[in-house]
Amino acid sequence: MPPTPTHCPYCALQCGMFVDAEAMITPREDVPANAGGALCQKGWTAGELLSAPDRVTAPLMRAHRDAPFERVSWEAALDRITAEVGRVQDRHGRDAVAVFGGGGLTNEKAYQLGKFARVALRTANIDYNGRFCMSSAAAAQNRAFGLDRGLPVPVTDVPEAGAILLAGGNVAETMPPFVRHLAAQRERGGRLIVVDPRETPTARLADLHLQLTPGTDLALANGLLHLAMTEGLIDEAYLARRVSGLEAVRTVVNAYWPERVERITGVPVPRLREAVRLLGTAARALILTARGAEQHATGTDTVTAFVNLALGLGLPGRPGSGFGCLTGQGNGQGGREHGQKADQLPGYRRIDDPAARRHVARVWGVRPEDLPGPGLSAAELLGALGTEDGPRALLVFGSNPVVSAPDSARVEKRLDALEFLAVADFVPSETAMRADVVLPTAQWAEETGTVTNLEGRVLLRRAARPRPAGVRDDLEIIAALAERLKAPGRFSTEPSEVFEELRAASAGGIADYSGITYERIVAETGVFWPCPGEGHPGTPRVFLDRFATPDGRARMVPVEHRGPVERPCADYPLHLTTGRVLAHYQSGAQTRRVRALVDAVPEAFVELHPDLAGRLGVDDGATVRVTSRRGSAVAKVRVCATIRRDTVFMPFHWAGAARANLLTNPALDPISRMPEFKVCAVRVDAVDQDRGTGSRG
């Protein structure tokens, strides 16, 4: 039997691969994201996930939280969930049951989960871990352009750019095949500018590294726009023709003169000037942001500042140029487009828009007035669990918030305060192990469905092998629960049928998939949305003629630097920033079960500058305790000169005492509700391992 063409289960590049019956993987060369057949270490080893030694292959249930899990039948597990949902909603109301989804779910599953929450449970409380990924970028792009899509151009346009500014992204470790596109760009004479507090592998590839103080990206972007204006590099004709709001922004950025920006950010003035000249003189240029710039309590305004810079230079809508965001999770884009976010219906429609409610209700066969309104965002939802006015029961699909959520010790307490918790997953994640019921789900190579990658290209993941006996996929689980709850309408278990309904529900919305079919995806190696009809070619490049605003003009919005919620002080004198490493992914629930990836990076670590390590009296490999206002994490030291002296770095893939999110700040962006993952104030203490005590440096 020939190997099956499909896509990687990890990041939003969604690299193409072949999977054979033995789960052996080879790269495809027909998928542009792969850059000629590249895969990273995670992609090459993804087949090992399918036979994880602790994989859950039967429903698990326990009578109470202190009891051990026991294997039970599917009927017993589903009956228990149905009974608990009914009991909690009868006692506390419909919103007392919540749903938490994941950015790795296919479009079909994300759509069906959103429908299930609104139609079967009739709860307002559904959100997903993609809120922790792209919400600030989405809010900023919607505000400026009327449409949110990761890249505004195909990834194959990247090598054509004369200059690229990447703010807060370490693609060499997070999506390595993307580096091939950057390498091709530089081989053609293009220049790369990287904005990052650390000298990451990506920063080392750059022509210019702007090593700023954590949490000062907004001031940097405003300062770059100030210089573009004073040096005559803004595109006045483009601004007059296609953009509103310039004068209000000009007034604000007048206060971000170079010397002030240097004081705020730590980036020398000559480097600021060089960056602006590289961007402003390139025939084609791209400005891209990622989590380092976005995961802040000012994330929406920070991305807006970079959007303003791009608009000032006349980039969005110009062929081969523009502003974009590097989506992180495998289907972070599609997951928010079709109903997992608390404030959205399929097609990227607002749930409080009467016309949107009428359209989607008609597709679902329910009355518009029966659909709930907006619910709590992800961090607020997790923080409200088990409280008097919050959800009392939670259903989790494809997420591990015990490791991935900010202030995660508090999240653990909130999960433990629930009256009932059910988790659908394929491994016993840290969240699943706190549940009352665990449902075993199919994996990426065992099910078919679409995903939307960082380009806005809708792709088809195909099932390559049968799932283990006793395992069901999420569509089957959702349909079985909907039937038991006597939900109106139909909940199909066939991905192609669900996609047909998704097409109808998205029709006329911002994210219009109505012209996309499985057949077109296969024939065209993906179709770009929006695609509002089967005769439509799709939209690989957005905004060429107009923006998706009522008057067709982009909006510049004035924004001011406010800095991090927490600043270093005597008790917590350092900045902590968090991120990923090459070998691991997200909460690590998958990659910590792959032998080669564990061997590559077996445990968490704390990066310290040599000067800081010397002040603490610790060497490489020593154990330290990092403490914030929320808790402490313990890990071994990596001494490296590539980080700022006032900053420490921890990856967030590990559970237990080394969990970086024990430290992170749950302070939220007021618009996107994004937590401030990327900077908080900490202290670092050397740990005397013989006595288990600490000595502060």
* Cβ contact 514:530 at 8 Å: no
Mind listing the pLDDT tens digit for each residue in 53-102?
999 999 999 999 899 999 999 999 999 999 999 999 999 999 999 999 99
Amino acid, res. 463: A
Tokens of 25: 């993987």
Closest CA to 124 of 371, 477, 338: 371
| Angle, CA of 13, 655 and 695, to the nearest 5° | 125
Residue whose pair of structure tokens reads 């499985």 in the numeric block: 518
Q: What whole-number percentage of the chain has pLDDT above 90?
A: 93
**Separate counts of helices (H) and strands (E) for the chain:** 24, 31
Output the pLDDT for position 339: 87
pLDDT tens-digit series, residues 560-572: 999 999 999 999 9
- Gap between the Cα atoms of 645 and 168, Å rounded: 18
Are 165 and 202 in contact by the 8 Å Cβ rule? The answer is no
Residue 693: its pLDDT value, please? 45
Residues 6 or more apart in contact with residue 570 via CB below 8 angstroms: none
Please name which of 643, 633, 688, 621 lies closest in space to residue 664, comparing C-alpha atoms: 633
Residue 27: asked if its preceding bond is cis (omega within 30°), the reply is no
For residue 228, give the nearest of 158, 282, 299, 167 by alpha carbon: 282
Count of all residues that appear for the chain in the document? 697
> Do residues 90 and 420 lie in contact, with contact meaning Cβ atoms separated by under 8 Å?
no
Residue whose pair of structure tokens reads 């420490």 in the numeric block: 648
> What's the confidence (pLDDT) of residue 694?
46
pLDDT tens by residue, 211-242: 999 999 999 999 999 999 999 999 999 999 99
Nearest Cα to Cα of residue 131 among 377, 351, 337, 334: 377
- Token look-up 């595109």 returns 235
Q: Where are the alpha helices (DSSP H) in 342-465?
A: 354-364, 378-384, 401-404, 408-416
Under a CB-based contact definition with an 8 Å cutoff, are residues 127 and 341 in contact? Answer: yes
Distance CA 669, CA 370 (A): 30
The sign of the CA dihedral 382, 435, 134, 146 is: negative
Q: Pick from 477, 161, 128, 483: which is nearest to 319 by CA?
A: 161
pLDDT at 692: 44
CB 676 within 8 A of CB 564: yes
3-state secondary structure of 372: coil
Helix H or strand E segment including 522: helix 518-524
First to last CA, the chain: 62
Amino acid type, 98: A
Question: Which residues, 6 or more positions from 678, have their beta carbon under 8 angstroms from its beta carbon?
Answer: 168, 214, 215, 291, 292, 295, 296, 577, 578
Q: What is the pTM of this model?
A: 0.95
What structural domains and CATH numbers belong to the chain?
A: 4-51 (2.20.25), 60-132+331-528 (3.40.50.740), 135-325 (3.40.228.10), 574-696 (2.40.40.20)
Helix (H) or strand (E) holding 194: strand 191-195
Q: Which residues of the chain have a pLDDT value below 70?
A: 689-697
* Residue of 292, 217, 260, 214 whose CA lies nearest to 566: 214
Which residue carries 């326990």 as its tokens?
A: 62
199: tokens are 């000298």
Q: Tell me the residue ranges of DSSP E strands in 426-500.
A: 437-440, 449-452, 457-461
Please report the pLDDT score of residue 402 as a whole number: 96
Return the closest-CA partner of residue 299 out of 675, 688, 680. 675
Give the C-alpha separation, 483 to 489, whole Å: 10
